[in-house]
Amino acid sequence: MSNFLSQFGPITLMLLGAVLSIGGAIWAQLQNDRQQSEIIRLNRHITEAVTGGDSYPVVSPVFLARHGEQGDIRRLSLMHSGKYPVYDLVLRVTDVAKLRALSKKGGYFSQNEYMWQFHIGTIGRGYENVFMDIPLQESERMEFSFTFLARNGQFNQRAIYQKTKGVWHTALRIEKDGKLVYENIDNGFPDTLVGELAKPIL
């Protein structure tokens, strides 16, 4: 021990001790940071599992196929998208084309003529269910606005279904708090109509 002290001196030992102390403190802090990160991650997971996180519903058209053809849009189907369930879901459907026609005509009209509301409840992964028939099944253009009210907030979907040369093309856009969540536009959907998805209903 005396040879060690004489060779390196007490100051060197003090510096070595300080370095080891600092290293230990850094290691302890890193371990603490990892634990804090894990706690934050678990808390976020629990919160999202309870609220629904960023999961959302999607409405898609249902085609009545015949003789191997595409068929016509006859119904609307509700599906789930995301990792967590969507809780306490209420769905409001607005027939945009009908609302515009009634507004243009003027006079009194009832909300029941262009709007429907459904209390869905909780939906989870793999959920898919037809919830209503299309009111105007002979039209070659349909436009809907879907408002989803759930525990994790409000989502708004705009959808346009356009029949061109006997073939249906669809486009939809889903937003939450004005931010795009999901968008899907078929190949062949008219470019002139894409901008309609982001426009106000009236």
Domain regions of the chain by residue span: 1-51, 57-198
d(CA 151, CA 86): 7
User: How many other β-carbons are positioned within 10 Å of the β-carbon of residue 156?
Assistant: 16
Instruction: Collapse the DSSP code of 199 into the 3-class scheme (helix H, G, I; strand E, B; otherwise coil) and give the result.
Output: coil
User: Which residues does residue 117 pair with via DSSP β-bridges, in sequence order?
Assistant: 92
- The per-residue pLDDT for 151 is 96
Q: CA 8 to CA 178: how far, in whole Å?
A: 68
Per-residue pLDDT at 8 exceeds 80: no
Write out pLDDT tens, residues 13-42.
566 666 667 767 677 676 776 777 776 677
- In the block, residue with structure tokens 């109509």: 193
**Which pLDDT belongs to residue 69?**
67
Are 141 and 163 spatial neighbours (Cβ–Cβ below 8 Å)?
A: yes
Q: Is 182 helix (H, G, I), strand (E, B) or coil?
A: strand
DSSP state letters, 94-163 = EEHHHHHHHHHH-S---GGGTEEEEEEEEE-TT-EEEEEE-S-TT-SEEEEEEEEEETTEEEEEEEEEEE
Three-state DSSP at 184 gives strand
Return left, alpha or beta for 161; rule: phi > 0 is left, psi -120 to 50 is alpha, else beta: beta
Q: Read off the pLDDT band of 70 (50, 70, 90).
A: confident
The confidence band for 129, taking pLDDT boundaries of 50, 70 and 90, is very high
pTM score, whole prediction: 0.80
